[in-house]
Chains A and B, each alone.
Chain A
Amino acid sequence: MKAPISKLELAVYYTLIFLILYEWLVPVMELTNTGYIYYFLLFIVLSIICVLLKLRSWLSAIIKVMYILWFITLTHGGAHLVQLDGVRFLLSEVTYNAQQLVAGDFSYITNSVRTILFFILLWMLMYLIHYWMTVRHSLFYFLVMTIVFIATLDTFSTYDGKFAIMKVLLYGLVLTGMLVLKQIITAHDIRLSWKQAVLYTLPLIIVVAAAGYGAYSLPKSPPKWPDPVPFVTGVITGEKTVSQVGYDTNDAELGGSFESDDTLVFTAQTNEKRYWRIDSRDTYTSKGWEQSYDEPTKEYITPNTLIGTMRDEDNVDYVTITMDKDDSYVLSPYGTLRYNYDDAYMIEESVESGYRESVNVTSWTEEMIPSYSIEVDEPTYSLEELRNTDMSRYAQLGEQFDRYLQLPETLPQRVRDLAVNVTKKAGNAYDKARAIETYFQSSGYTYTTKDVAIPDDDEDYVDQFLFETKFGYCDNFSTAMVVMLRALDIPARWVKGFVTGDAIDSTTYEITNNEAHSWVEVYLVGIGWVPFEPTIGFTGTLDISYDVQEQEVEAAEQKSEEASQAPEQLAEEEQDATLTPTSTFSFAELWDVLKWLFGGIAIMLLAAAVVMYNRRRQWLPSYYIKQSKNEPQNWTTFEKNYKNLLRQLHAVGYVRGTNETLSAYAKKIDEALQCTEMTTLTTAYECYLYGNYAQDADFTYLQECWEYLINRTSG
């Protein structure tokens, strides 16, 4: 019943298909560095013309083969097919490649064979399209494949398929629409004149064009998920989007995953767990951190000289640092009183606004000091004092604090709003800081070092973390806290260094690159820079004497208990990290991303299969009917149909015992369904099954009975 497609129609369809195929070819050529795209396109045109002229298949095959050979000799042999050189080239190619193929050395075959294979691929594609067009009257699969293909290339390669996808979609919609029209016309056996056909197609083209233009010109929201592609490309091209963990002085661009690295940096002898502070940053660029001045004020630290405030001689801890890595920084744990070091070196601290910012070896050579000791008396803060930091006291702060209140102008308002919201119950700066510090633990944020997003040009690092991704590592948490505090006009700065490290025994800690960390210091009026630890899974070392009312103390203790559970978590995470082998990182990481994709697709397919399987009673009958329509009416078809019916009846709960004869079962079915068709069918089937010769039967009537029954089973 399929109406023949006129040549004109076919020509229109094939023009559209050619345009779509062009979009296929362009990226392939671009990515494989293949030239001569026009010759390949010519091949497609040639195939289309063969179809349009309805050439006999052998003739069109000869034409195509000749074309391929001509192309090969021209491009690979540099001669025309008709020339002697060309023939000679062809012959030598054939013998050489035949040898390689027979020997199984597929890697030695020449490019001409690859070209031929590519031509054959195109040929097959054309044949497939021809089949879809003329037999199925549907090109849906082809379109879907094309879009998936271009989207994949666009995502994972340098090819930019933005417009290609749009074009393919538009061509495809027009083509699909025309084919649907064709199907309708065929189904109702309508004959359209040339004019009518154009009149019917015109609205379609207008609608598609309008939709395309609308879609193109409307504003589009940015992607909601972090883009895995920079990461993947980073892995492939080896660009530094996946960094190795460790102390790094460049924080201008934060984000991205990092690999664990357990290279030992230094060993510390200390009686207490400490945060090993190194440096701080004051300027947030919306991508990372910078320092606002180039030449800090530096003060020389004389060995064995008191630089901090001594409170209680008995509390002083003598910390010894043994450096392993050649770094010029000097650690300054909270409450540093004195540095004892060999005076062959020179340590300087950079001091701004009267507070230490960093300590560095600034000897003439700027090499590391192999070993030094620090006298430390970590300050204990009185909770009462901490809370005596009413916001009004910040109004009187001097200009020197402005750089700790700096925020980029592009900072989205919602970050500020969030800061206000989170801290609205807190009355003083300390409580506000605490509120932000604990906010992350209870609001769905996750600590991870994998797949952490890198902000795009128009994105803010903190905003992305707070609202979009909600996962990240210390840099995300600490930067977010600093930015939020600054939004509340509380001076804060971003601090870097190392966390406690692995305890070798009760007083020895080994600090590796994995312990590199960042946290927050908040300026509390009347007290100074106080460290805070917003990162999930880490506990700060802030020592507070709870000298206020009991209730509050309890609350505070609760918080510290919660926090004390966290180190285990951290330890686990660290363990996980160290298990990852660093040498195979590129493929393993790529696979990490792809496995989600494949896993997702597999799960979806599986789910679809399960759903289809569970619903088979509903769709199987119509499938059976459709299938049987295409088959001749004879006993074989009837037997197949009857068996399908039995299966279907069984599936809907009419179970036939193995000892039950077909006629007894048929009687049962007829009684249950209030009909007689089953007995009719069964009698016929029995005649076929147990009779000695095939009798004639009214297959049309049997088919009717069968369709009636099998439809009943799906209802």
Chain B
Amino acid sequence: MNDQIAKILTNIDEVMIGKREVATLSLVALLAEGHILLEDVPGVGKTMMVRTLAKSIGTSFNRIQFTPDLLPSDVVGVSIYNPKTLEFEFREGPIVGHIVLADEINRTSPKTQSALLEAMEEGTVTVDGETVHIPKPFFVMATQNPIEYEGTYSLPEAQLDRFLFKIQMGYPTFDEEVEVLRRAAHREPLKTLQSVMTIEELRALQQQVKTVHIEDSVKAYIVDIVRQTRSDQHVYLGASPRASIALMRASQSYAFMQGRSYVLPDDVQYLAKFVLSHRLILKQEARYEQIEAEEIVQRVVARVAVPTQKAMNYE
């Protein structure tokens, strides 16, 4: 595994207990320049995770707590008239930062949601005709309450597409929770945490990820999987080509984290569930039968043959 990545993971492990997979996936997304949607109840350590990540790369993080009365300007920023300069000055909102925690995004109005998602997609914010680039790396970790909760505006599917992964954090196990208590009682690990990487170094890693080789046969494998989601009997709307790209980027990033210079079908298989499940719209029947999108993705992966031959020509 890549050394610097391993250090970050060790940092997270010191603070978080039993969250290795979430940490890994977060790093995959960070390196692939993607964003993460965490779907979970409050209090399972989402903020802690983001903080640890931010501190490990030696930067701060912005937190936006989404409430029903939050306005788009509260997210992206406002132009304020400066009497001294006699000009309007752009005051950037909390979205302009390296690491952003957008908490409970499904509690705010669709208008504010789309402001956030647009910023995520474009990497810029536009206020009064003025466009401001959000500095890279830019990593949003959004959380949402499970949809059944009251007072939520569920995100439209098109916007869910903007997230590279949707991850469920889940409760810790009994032993893990006891360990959480033990640590919380004695010290505050976050304070003693050292940063292991600079922003520049992270940028460099992000560049390296893009050079990870992905063989044509593996690309075809990705396309096979994504296309199969479109023809599944339970799926109303399958994953888009954007999903194929996402799966490829994530696989490259994951391979890089493993210290490999090429993507294996194994990487694709592992990530498919996290990349694809939130991009599928299931048929009503499937919902009645309580078939989860994750399950459908797993079935699709089980159906598609792994490439074991040297590349064929796909032109």
Does B associate with A? yes
Chain A contacts to B: CB under 8 angstroms: 639, 646, 658-664, 686-693
Residue contact B262 to A690, C-beta cutoff 8 Å = yes
- B171-217 residues with Cβ-Cβ distance < 8 A to A are 213-215, 217
Residue contact B308 to A691, C-beta cutoff 8 Å = no
Known: A659-B301, A663-B266. Is A690-B215 also a contact (CB below 8 A)? yes
B263 interface residue, CB < 8 Å from A?
yes
Residue contact A691 to B304, C-beta cutoff 8 Å = no
Known: A639-B310, A659-B306, A686-B264. Is A692-B215 also a contact (CB below 8 A)? yes
Residue contact A690 to B218, C-beta cutoff 8 Å = yes
Q: Specify which chain A residues have a CB less than 8 angstroms from the CB of B262 in the assembled complex.
A: 686-687, 690-692
Residue contact B306 to A691, C-beta cutoff 8 Å = no
Q: Specify which chain A residues have a CB less than 8 angstroms from the CB of B263 in the assembled complex.
A: 690
Determine the distance from Cα of A660 to Cα of B269 in the docked complex, in whole angstroms. 9
Determine the distance from Cα of A163 to Cα of B310 in the docked complex, in whole angstroms. 61
B309 (CB) vs chain A CBs: closest residue: A689
B253 to chain A, nearest CB (A): 16
Q: Specify which chain B residues have a CB less than 8 angstroms from the CB of A659 in the assembled complex.
A: 301-306
Q: Specify which chain A residues have a CB less than 8 angstroms from the CB of B306 in the assembled complex.
A: 658-662
Determine the distance from Cα of A693 to Cα of B305 in the docked complex, in whole angstroms. 24
Q: A639-B310, A692-B261, A692-B262 are in contact. List 14 more A-B contacts (CB 8 A).
A: A659-B305, A661-B265, A661-B266, A662-B265, A662-B306, A686-B262, A686-B264, A687-B262, A688-B310, A690-B214, A690-B215, A690-B262, A691-B262, A692-B215
A695 (CB) vs chain B CBs: closest residue: B261
A621 to chain B, nearest CB (A): 20
Quick one: which of B215, B264, B305 contacts A658, CB cutoff 8 A? B305
Residue contact B308 to A689, C-beta cutoff 8 Å = yes
Chain B contacts to A: CB under 8 angstroms: 213-215, 217-218, 261-266, 269, 301-310
**18 chain-A/chain-B pairs, Cβ below 8 angstroms:** A639-B310, A646-B308, A658-B305, A659-B301, A659-B305, A659-B306, A661-B266, A661-B269, A662-B265, A687-B262, A688-B310, A689-B310, A690-B262, A690-B265, A691-B213, A691-B261, A692-B215, A692-B261
A665 to chain B, nearest CB (A): 9
Closest 9 CB pairs of A and B: A692-B213, A658-B305, A691-B262, A690-B215, A661-B266, A661-B265, A690-B262, A659-B302, A661-B306
Determine the distance from Cα of A646 to Cα of B304 in the docked complex, in whole angstroms. 19
A228 to chain B, nearest CB (A): 55
Main SS of chain B's interface residues? loop
A504 to chain B, nearest CB (A): 76
B262 (CB) vs chain A CBs: closest residue: A691
Determine the distance from Cα of A76 to Cα of B309 in the docked complex, in whole angstroms. 63
A662 (CB) vs chain B CBs: closest residue: B308
A693 (CB) vs chain B CBs: closest residue: B213
Determine the distance from Cα of A662 to Cα of B308 in the docked complex, in whole angstroms. 8
A250 to chain B, nearest CB (A): 78
B270 to chain A, nearest CB (A): 10
Determine the distance from Cα of A66 to Cα of B260 in the docked complex, in whole angstroms. 68
Q: Specify which chain A residues have a CB less than 8 angstroms from the CB of B310 in the assembled complex.
A: 639, 688-689
Q: Specify which chain A residues have a CB less than 8 angstroms from the CB of B308 in the assembled complex.
A: 646, 662, 689
Determine the distance from Cα of A271 to Cα of B213 in the docked complex, in whole angstroms. 103
Determine the distance from Cα of A548 to Cα of B309 in the docked complex, in whole angstroms. 91
Determine the distance from Cα of A52 to Cα of B305 in the docked complex, in whole angstroms. 60
Q: Specify which chain B residues have a CB less than 8 angstroms from the CB of A692 in the assembled complex.
A: 213, 215, 261-262
A242 to chain B, nearest CB (A): 63
B214 (CB) vs chain A CBs: closest residue: A690
B185 to chain A, nearest CB (A): 40
A635 (CB) vs chain B CBs: closest residue: B310
Determine the distance from Cα of A693 to Cα of B212 in the docked complex, in whole angstroms. 12
Determine the distance from Cα of A663 to Cα of B265 in the docked complex, in whole angstroms. 9
> Most B CB atoms within 10 A — which of A686, A688, A693?
A686
Residue contact B264 to A690, C-beta cutoff 8 Å = yes
Determine the distance from Cα of A686 to Cα of B214 in the docked complex, in whole angstroms. 12
Q: Specify which chain A residues have a CB less than 8 angstroms from the CB of B305 in the assembled complex.
A: 658-659
Determine the distance from Cα of A690 to Cα of B263 in the docked complex, in whole angstroms. 7
Determine the distance from Cα of A693 to Cα of B211 in the docked complex, in whole angstroms. 13
Q: Specify which chain A residues have a CB less than 8 angstroms from the CB of B269 in the assembled complex.
A: 661
Q: Specify which chain A residues have a CB less than 8 angstroms from the CB of B218 in the assembled complex.
A: 690
> Most A CB atoms within 10 A — which of B263, B266, B306?
B306
B132 to chain A, nearest CB (A): 38
B306 to chain A, nearest CB (A): 5
Q: Specify which chain B residues have a CB less than 8 angstroms from the CB of A662 in the assembled complex.
A: 265, 306, 308
Q: Specify which chain B residues have a CB less than 8 angstroms from the CB of A660 in the assembled complex.
A: 306
A649 to chain B, nearest CB (A): 13
Q: Specify which chain B residues have a CB less than 8 angstroms from the CB of A689 in the assembled complex.
A: 215, 217, 307-310
Determine the distance from Cα of A642 to Cα of B263 in the docked complex, in whole angstroms. 20
Q: Specify which chain A residues have a CB less than 8 angstroms from the CB of B214 in the assembled complex.
A: 690
B211 (CB) vs chain A CBs: closest residue: A692
Q: Specify which chain B residues have a CB less than 8 angstroms from the CB of A693 in the assembled complex.
A: 213
